[in-house]
């Protein structure tokens, strides 16, 4: 597998939600045609003997599990989503509740790790929802769902314990990171 395909694979893995060809081209400083060739090379590489495959949905590309292991992944996901929330899931949910709506990159920054799986878990449980960012149509924001509020018996997100204090602390933490990276 060539270097471009390896870089595409890494970006798709880390993104968790897939990326558009144009976004990959922008990040990798390549033409769309080169990215499409790299994706085709990645597909050929994954075709034989790998548990992952490439999903193309219009101009969006994602890494997904192959049909060879789909039953195993489905059983694991059912078990994972049926049980109690893990500490990591509760952490991600708390961040979204007290600071949302927010981008996945912000959630990742606050947690210090990739949150893709936790967010998918919370989405599938109906505790959070994903909406388009009105400032960037390519990005999504995560916020708690109405079901989350109903489950906790809250009329509003501001009814969470010490909502104002924790929301402000998270805001300051994220702003601090933005200033440091500017």
pLDDT digits (tens, 9 = 90+) for 35-67: 999 999 999 998 878 888 888 887 889 888 888
- CATH assignment of 84-180? 1.10.10.10
Cis peptide leading into 37, omega within 30 of 0? no
Burial of 9 (0-12, 13-18, 19+ CB in 10 A): buried
Range(s) within the chain of domains with CATH label 1.10.10.10 = 3-67, 84-180
User: What residues contact residue 52 under an 8 Å CB cut-off, 6+ apart?
Assistant: 46, 63, 64, 65, 66
The domain made up of 3-67 has a fold known as: Arc Repressor Mutant, subunit A (1.10.10)
User: Which pLDDT value is given to residue 81?
Assistant: 60
182 has pLDDT over 60? no
């Amino acid at each position: 597998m060539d270097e471009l395909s390896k870089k595409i694979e890494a970006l798709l893995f880390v993104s968790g939600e897939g990326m558009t060809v144009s976004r990959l081209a922008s990040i990798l400083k390549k033409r769309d045609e080169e990215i499409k060739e790299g994706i085709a090379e990645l597909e050929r590489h994954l075709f034989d003997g790998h548990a992952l495959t490439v999903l193309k949905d219009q101009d969006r590309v994602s890494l997904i599990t192959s049909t060879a292991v789909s039953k195993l992944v489905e059983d694991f996901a059912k078990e994972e989503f049926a049980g109690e929330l893990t500490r990591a899931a509760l952490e991600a949910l708390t961040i979204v509740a007290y600071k949302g709506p927010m981008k996945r990159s912000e959630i990742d920054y606050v947690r210090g790790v990739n949150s893709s799986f936790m967010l998918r878990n919370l989405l599938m449980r109906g505790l959070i929802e994903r909406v388009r960012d009105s400032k960037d149509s390519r990005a999504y924001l995560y916020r708690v769902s109405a079901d989350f509020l109903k489950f906790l018996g809250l009329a509003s997100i501001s009814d969470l314990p010490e909502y104002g204090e924790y929301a402000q602390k998270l805001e300051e933490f994220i702003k601090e990171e933005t200033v440091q990276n500017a």
